Amino acid sequence: MTTPPDGMIFRRAARVLIVDEEDRALLFFGSGLILQDDDYYFTVGGGVDEGETLAEAAAREVFEETGLRVDPQALGGPVAHTEGAWTTHRGTRFYSDDHFFFLRTAHFDPDLSGLEAGEANEIDHPAWLSPADLDATDAVVFPRGLAAVLKRLLAGERPADPIEMPWHGGER
């Protein structure tokens, strides 16, 4: 684990934009960790373990958080990226470097039995949401700009370099 000079905990993450045949993305609904008084949606994924590639970490996280088995090679390369600092409402300071993969799959009911204790406490329920649903929600959506990125990917765009998304920083 790397600790930046300002004392923040560095966290490299592999996240996956899982989209079903109805163009809905699988997100988790939660509250409390990032924004104590707000509801929010966030993507499947998590930290990269030492020795893992981004794709290996993404595939592992998809299985742990949803029960869906994915071949890391099937993910291709990252399609989007965001990074920045954030602080939990309890005061823990992080610097996240988030890499996003895109995965088309048939609709399925996520199996949350593989969640770690902290994840299970954070996730209220999974939800399949369209870009229009994301644009219309009153909840905060992490990462910022997710609906716009999904629209581009659903239109068939496959960027040569990951799309840079604005950092959310935990603010509304």
**Residues 99-153: tens digit of each pLDDT:** 999 999 999 999 999 988 878 878 889 999 999 999 999 998 989 899 999 999 9
**Residues 54-111: tens digit of each pLDDT:** 999 999 999 999 999 999 999 999 999 999 888 776 778 889 999 999 999 999 999 9
| Planar angle of CA 110, 113, 114, nearest 5 degrees | 95
pTM of the model: 0.91
Residue-level pLDDT at 33 = 60
Say whether pLDDT at 1 is over 50. Answer: no
Say whether pLDDT at 24 is over 80. Answer: yes
The CATH class of the 9-164 domain is alpha beta
| Chain CA centroid to CA 58, Å | 10
Q: What Å distances lie between residue 99 and 3, 7, 172, CA to CA?
A: 19, 22, 21
Asked if residue 143 has a cis previous peptide bond (ω within 30° of 0), the answer is: yes
Domain ranges of the chain: 9-164
Residue-level pLDDT at 121 = 79
CB 80 within 8 A of CB 165: yes
